[in-house]
């Protein structure tokens, strides 16, 4: 395991392609587009070193077949976000992603709303972490920036913690400053314990410029903003191609 092994280089970009799958699933998966493997390859061309996918219990975006394809083709490191359930552990053991990031999951939520309570879920998580690590999968815990959660992640033997930035990006003024201080304290505590520091949720071009200043940050996972930018910056070319079809 790479725990404690530190490479002080640039910050790794993980691209979360869930929302490309959301667009496909809006039509019940009847369209072949967007092609997730193509999305993953384009992300790598753009500088992504990791592809992140969240296989949700309700399969609202990523499907089992996507996990199968992406782990087979492995255009980059594959980071599988999943709930701590026996079904998901079976999937991870089958498809063997490079990383598993344990996330909390509620059926009714629009997106992952908060961090995982690793401290409270220790008994459930411990055997799962052990089974996954035994076949070489590295473990990250998606948590709030709390020292208690960092320590619980360390005690379980995780390689990394991913701090939930979704609240911080929405805060303003003094509240934002307070949340930033929590992030800095939690990142420093994680680093002192030999945990890798990752961050993600709600990041866009502006907030990524700020999160870069988080001490010991090694990786960010970004999805929604990138898929939105792709629409904005790619629509003209798509329409031009369609217009050419009509004119030819």
Chain centre to alpha carbon of residue 25: 20
Length of the chain counted residue by residue:
248
The two three-digit tokens of residue 96, written as one number:
């063997």
- Residue ranges with strand state E in the chain: 12-16, 50-54, 77-82, 99-102, 138-143, 160-164, 196-200, 217-222
Residue 16 contacts ligand PXP per CB under 6 A: yes
Residue pair 169/203 in contact (Cβ under 8 Å)? The answer is yes
Min dist. Cβ of residue 172 to ligand PXP (A) = 18
Q: Note if 54 is an active site residue.
A: yes
114 makes contact with ligand PXP (CB under 6 A): no
115 binds ligand PXP (CB under 6 A): no
Number of chain positions touching ligand PXP (CB under 6 A): 19
The smaller minimum CB distance to ligand PXP, of residues 71 and 225, is found at 225
162 binds ligand PXP (CB under 6 A): yes
DSSP string of 80-91, one letter each residue: EEE-S-HHHHHH
- What part of residues 24-53 is at the interface with ligand PXP (CB under 6 A)? none
By beta-carbon proximity to ligand PXP, the closer residue of 57 and 246 is 57
99 in contact with ligand PXP (CB under 6 A):
no
Cα–Cα separations (whole angstroms), residue 126 to 20, 67, 142, 176: 33, 24, 15, 33
Q: What residues make contact with ligand PXP under the rule CB under 6 A?
A: 16, 18, 54, 81, 101, 103, 111-112, 142, 162, 200-203, 221-225
Query: What are the residue numbers of the active site?
Result: 54, 81, 201
């Amino acid at each position: 395991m790479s725990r404690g092994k530190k490479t002080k280089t640039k910050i790794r970009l993980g691209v979360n392609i869930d929302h490309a799958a959301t667009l496909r699933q809006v039509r019940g998966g009847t369209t072949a587009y967007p092609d997730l493997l193509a999305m993953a390859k384009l992300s790598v061309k753009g500088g992504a070193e990791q592809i992140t996918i969240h296989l949700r219990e309700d399969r609202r975006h990523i499907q089992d077949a996507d996990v199968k394809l992406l782990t087979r083709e492995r255009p980059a490191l594959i980071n599988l976000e999943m709930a701590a359930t026996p079904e998901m552990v079976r999937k991870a053991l089958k498809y063997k992603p490079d990383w598993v990031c344990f996330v909390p999951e509620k059926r009714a939520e629009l997106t992952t709303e908060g961090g995982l309570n690793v401290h409270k879920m220790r008994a459930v998580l411990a055997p799962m972490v052990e089974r996954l690590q035994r076949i070489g999968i590295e473990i990250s815990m998606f948590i709030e920036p709390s020292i208690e959660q960092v320590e619980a992640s360390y005690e379980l033997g995780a390689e990394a913690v991913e701090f939930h930035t979704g609240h911080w990006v929405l805060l303003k003024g003094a509240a934002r400053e307070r949340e930033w201080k929590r992030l800095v304290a939690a990142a420093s505590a994680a680093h002192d314990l030999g945990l890798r520091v990752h961050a993600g949720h709600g990041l866009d071009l502006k907030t990524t410029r700020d999160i870069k200043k988080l001490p010991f940050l090694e990786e960010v996972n970004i999805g929604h903003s990138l898929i939105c930018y792709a629409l904005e910056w790619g629509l003209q070319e798509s329409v031009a191609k369609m217009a050419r079809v009509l004119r030819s």
